[in-house]
A and B are shown apart, each in its own frame.
Chain A
Amino acid sequence: MGTGREVDVRLAGVTKRFGDVVAVDDIALDILQGEFFSLLGPSGCGKTTTLRMIGGFEQPDEGAIELAGANVAGLPPHRRDVNTVFQSYALFPHLNVFDNVAYGLRRRRIAKDHIPGQVRRILELVDLPRFEARRITQLSGGQQQRVALARALVNQPRVLLLDEPLGALDLKLRKAMQLELKGLQHEVGITFIYVTHDQEEAMTMSDRIAVMREGRIEQVGPPEEVYERPATEFVASFLGASNLLDGTVGPPDGDFRTIELVSGEKVRVPAAAIEGTERSIKLGVRPEKIRIGTAGSASPADGDNAIEGTVRDATFVGVSNVYAVATRDGHEVTVYAQNLGTSTDRPPAPGETVTLTWHPEHTFVVSGREGGADGE
């Protein structure tokens, strides 16, 4: 990253097996101080296991886990300077809000007369002032979520682990909480490691994302990077609709390389995207980067990539029109055309031949390799 910030959590060669199943397979990660870091992947990809190993609830079979430079492998959870917000919140139902939040302070033998003040301040921070005496059962899902946050944050841990904490909330509340969490993290300056299977959530909140699949890390990087330049086919498709086309690498053309598609059409991709001596590649472009026009109606801007296709399906979804277009080499490409409301251009209808154009810069090349690059 080159920011010169301290590494808070380092995983080196960490492997975890459950019987014959390799849940986490030799992963390496550096998470920096104050970072909002997300582990993103489908269920069963090993992201929760990774989080639980950092928290101390599981011990790795191989590899080292460092917290602030010290190896913590083998240490039980209560001896680690991390706190967790559990997916089910795991609030203690026999205690009220005050006693829940004060639980960690009491375990650390904080002086009795300091506890009420600290609890009050943290409850104000999570926007639940004067909730001390409430019973857990009297709280809504969103409020329970905040209490769980407060209970963890009041201990001022070095790292806060969050295991899909917004999963149980409805969509609207979830959106609001995403922004709030991000703001809160900024305020307290604590490193957050956030586990989610929701790519939009990860992109909204994170400084960096590690995309995981089958116990391995496919790519690590800031949201824009993993979205705009996915390293693997899996990352490309997991972080949103991606349109992948097969092609053969041709000669260089300035900062670009020419790629010949199966259909014979030629497109250009950034030269930096081509690794080494690869000949046969998969290239992709995000649906919102493509402009669609009836064939011949508009000439593509100079230097833009252009391919032809036939509209299979057109769907109006309000903010945009979504087209499924069959290209000449037999792929189906998704195009989002923003609903600008201008009536000069008649939207293409199914069956029509169209030209798809996009800027070469917006083309990415994915590796077809199994497993993943570390991306660092």
Chain B
Amino acid sequence: MTRRGWVLPAYTTLVLLYLFLPIAVMILFGFNDIRGRFNFVWQGFTLRHWTGIWDTPELTDALKNSLLIASISTIVATSLGTMIALALTRYRFRGRGSTNLFIFLPLATPEIVLGASLLSLFVTANVSRGIGTILLAHIMFNISYVVVTVKARTQGFNREWEEAAKDLGATPWTAFRTVTLPLIFPGILAAAVLAFALSIDDYVITLFNAGATVTFPLWVAGASRFGVPPAVNVMGTLIFVVGVTLALLAVPLQRRRAAAPVAPPTGRVAG
């Protein structure tokens, strides 16, 4: 007991430090009163990076691009991916196995390979690179993540719930809207959050397919060669805070839905 008394808390503290120290440093250096270009040494506290957050137009544009791309690709990939996940779990059709495999492939392929192949595809097809090609790329890899995430939820879905809804007079669409959708919603929400995070964060695939368009990660990476301005820390902090807030808001929802048993109480005995 006494051993467990201090080992576990100490271990936990170290893990948390390991996870959160970089984030703490990022937030802290957003308040650094730097002189010169480099933001590596603490020189004093200031709020001027926060008040002047929009003073670098290129950075602002990059962030706008990223938010736009992340929003659109999240919405499109979540809708398509949810439908694919539903189809894969409820219907037995020809090509179901290979569809499962193809959905999984982008997850297993190195990003650098995906990015390069997409670029050669776009060049071959003579498509000019820009926001459009970035969107296509992001929707593509996001669909896979959405399908995998939503499938975890739809697999435990009891088909009798939908049959019961129809039995009680619901049209197929009403049954979907009032029963299926609310029950798999936690999965869809988790998938959307994941897709948004992956999109706003993607560097490698975007780099290949961006053309002249600059996204937030591309701008930061470019700037880091000359010294990252504290405005990046400030925006990173903002993105982090918004993300954490969304996640916290989703917790009660997740908990409420999770209370519902996904599996039926008994196995089905066919008669």
Contact = CB atoms under 8 A, between A and B. Distances in A.
A88 B271 contact: no
A135 B262 CA distance: 14
Nearest to A77: B166
A82 B163 CA distance: 13
Contacts of B259: 93, 135, 137
Interface stretch (A39-47, A257-265, A316-324): A39-47
Contacts of B178: 103
A104 B271 contact: no
A151 B166 CA distance: 13
Given A86-B163, A94-B183, A168 B265 contact: yes
B107 interface: no
Interface residues of A, number: 46
Contact of B269 (A39, A91, A151, A164): A164
B174 interface: yes
Contact of A44 (B158, B174, B182, B271): B271
Interface centre among B167, B169, B261 (most CB of A within 10 A): B167
A95 to B, nearest CB: 8
Contact of B271 (A43, A84, A151, A168): A43
A108 to B, nearest CB: 5
A84 B163 CA distance: 9
B271 A90 contact: no
Contacts of B164: 84, 86, 90-92, 151
Interface string B191-209: 0000000000000000000
A47 B172 CA distance: 25
B174 A107 contact: yes
Interface string A180-204: 0000000000000001010000000
Nearest to A161: B167
Interface in A294-327: none
A78 B166 contact: yes
B165 interface: yes
B41 interface: no
A355 interface: no
B257 A77 contact: no
B265 A141 contact: yes
Nearest to A109: B169
A270 to B, nearest CB: 34
A131 interface: no
Nearest to B161: A90
A256 interface: no
A44 B271 CA distance: 5
B14 to A, nearest CB: 38
Contact of A93 (B165, B167, B261): B261
B90 to A, nearest CB: 14
Contact of B167 (A45, A83, A167): A83
A155 interface: yes
B168 interface: yes
A167 to B, nearest CB: 6
A44 B161 contact: no
Nearest to A196: B271
A284 interface: no
Interface string A112-138: 000000000000000000000001110
A39 B161 CA distance: 23
Contact of B182 (A47, A87, A94, A144): A94
A107 to B, nearest CB: 4
Given A88-B265, A93-B183, A94-B183, A76 B270 contact: no
A293 interface: no
Interface string B249-271: 00000000101111011101111
Interface of A: 39, 41, 43-49, 51, 55-57, 76-78, 82-84, 86-94, 103-104, 107-108, 135-137, 141, 144, 151-152, 155, 163-164, 167-168, 195, 197
17 contacts: A43-B269, A44-B270, A48-B270, A49-B270, A77-B167, A78-B170, A87-B160, A87-B269, A88-B160, A90-B264, A94-B182, A104-B168, A107-B174, A137-B259, A137-B260, A151-B168, A197-B269
Interface of B: 158, 160-161, 163-172, 174-175, 178-179, 182-183, 257, 259-262, 264-266, 268-271
**Closest 8 A/B residue pairs (Cβ):** A93-B260, A88-B264, A48-B271, A107-B169, A104-B168, A90-B160, A90-B164, A47-B271
Given A92-B179, A103-B165, A163-B271, 16 more contacts: A39-B271, A44-B271, A78-B168, A86-B164, A87-B266, A88-B264, A92-B164, A92-B165, A92-B183, A93-B261, A93-B262, A94-B183, A103-B168, A103-B170, A104-B169, A137-B260
